[in-house]
C-alpha cells in the first residue's frame, strides 16, 4: 500500500491565513509563517499556499508571502492563485515554491 501524504493548504488573503466554506464567510486563521512552521512540525509532507484573492483582484501572486513561508520550512511548497504566465511561474519558483 502506498504511503498517504499530508498536504495542508494555507488559504491566503491580505497576508493572513483564512478559513471559510467555499471562500464565503472568511475568518482570520493566523499568521502564515507560524502556520507553516506548525504544519511542518506536526508532520506535513508538503504545504500548499493559495492566494484566494489574486484572480478576483486581477493581480499576481504576492511573492513576499511565498518568500516568507518558504524561508522557514524544509518541505515542498506548492503555490496557486494569480499565476497566468511562464514568467509568473518562474518568479514563484525563484521565491521558494517547488
Per-domain boundaries in the chain? 9-94
pLDDT tens profile 17-47 = 999 887 678 899 999 999 999 999 999 999 9
Query: What are the residues whose beta carbons fall under 8 Å from the beta carbon of 20, sequence distance 6 or more?
Result: 11, 26, 27
* Model confidence at 1: pLDDT above 90: no
pLDDT tens profile 44-91 = 999 999 999 998 899 999 999 999 999 999 999 999 999 999 999 999
| pTM for the structure as a whole | 0.90
Residue 32, burial from CB neighbour count under 10 angstroms (0-12, 13-18, 19+): buried
pLDDT at 17: 97
pLDDT at 2: 83
User: Three-class SS string for the chain?
Assistant: CCCCCCCCEEEEECCEEEEEECCEEEEEEECHHHHHHHHHHCCCCCEEEEECCCCCCCCCCCHHHHHHHHCCCCCCEEEECCCCCHHHHHHHHHCCCC
* Model confidence at 16: pLDDT above 90: yes
Amino acid at each position: 500500500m502506498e504511503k498517504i501524504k499530508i498536504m495542508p493548504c494555507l488559504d491566503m488573503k491580505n497576508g493572513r491565513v483564512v478559513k471559510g466554506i467555499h471562500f464565503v464567510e472568511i475568518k482570520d486563521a493566523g499568521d502564515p509563517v507560524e502556520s507553516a512552521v506548525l504544519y511542518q512540525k506536526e508532520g506535513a509532507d508538503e504545504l500548499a499556499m493559495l492566494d484566494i484573492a489574486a484572480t478576483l483582484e486581477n493581480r499576481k501572486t504576492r511573492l513576499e508571502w511565498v518568500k516568507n513561508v518558504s524561508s522557514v520550512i524544509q518541505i515542498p511548497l506548492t503555490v496557486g492563485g494569480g499565476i497566468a504566465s511562464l514568467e509568473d511561474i518562474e518568479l514563484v519558483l525563484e521565491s521558494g515554491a517547488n
